[in-house]
Copies of this chain bind each other. A is one copy, B any other.
């Protein structure tokens, strides 16, 4: 066997290089040559790991999603009550620079995914997974009795999901106007509200 290289690790490194290029130049100006330069290699070497650009883009997006998911998944079984719900909902929010970068890259991919079927499929999965995560957070509240009388976990999830997504977008696009403290305050205010009884 010749020169051994960790294939999976190399692909992941290239994906991370792509994220940096997308953040710096935008997804429109993200080229195979640019990513190769950022990763410190040549376009030809890059093509050894990804035969086509679409494959590279798809892998980079899927890796990004998996990174977020794998950060939340392991501790998910141990979560309970309001703190657990906050932990879940807060994971999507850009509370630090790392997560802000992730959302920023993701937003660029979302725009592209409207006209790219492969990316579109990933986008649909992300929506499904996020919605499920929010629904689970609401169930944690309900189970802990932190959901006010007369409230439906499903109905409140329908409202909480777009709220959290909207907060994530705002916090990512305008971090000065909507800093982490603001996001947290709005989210906590919302959870406070959910704990009160719903008077018809």
Copies of this protein, total:
2
Do residues A159 and B190 form an inter-chain contact, with CB atoms below 8 A? Answer: yes
CA distance A112 to B29 in the complex (A): 10
Q: Which residues of B contact A165 (CB under 8 A)?
A: 166, 169-170
A25 at interface (Cβ–Cβ under 8 A)?
Answer: yes
Given A27-B28, A166-B165; A114-B123 close (CB under 8 Å): no
A interface residue count range (under 10 / 10 to 19 / 20 to 34 / 35 or more)? 35 or more
Name the contact of A27 in the complex, choosing from B111, B158, B159 (C-beta under 8 A).
B111
Question: A104 at the A/B interface (Cβ < 8 Å)?
Answer: yes
A55 to B142, CA, bound (A): 52
- 20 further A-B contacts with Cβ under 8 Å, apart from A108-B111, A159-B190, are A26-B111, A26-B115, A26-B116, A27-B28, A28-B112, A107-B111, A107-B114, A110-B111, A110-B173, A111-B111, A124-B174, A158-B189, A159-B163, A159-B186, A163-B166, A164-B166, A165-B169, A166-B167, A193-B193, A196-B199
Please report A residues at the B interface, Cβ cutoff 8 Å: 24-29, 104, 107-108, 110-112, 114-116, 123-124, 127, 155, 158-159, 161-167, 169-170, 173-174, 177, 182, 185-186, 189-190, 193, 196-199
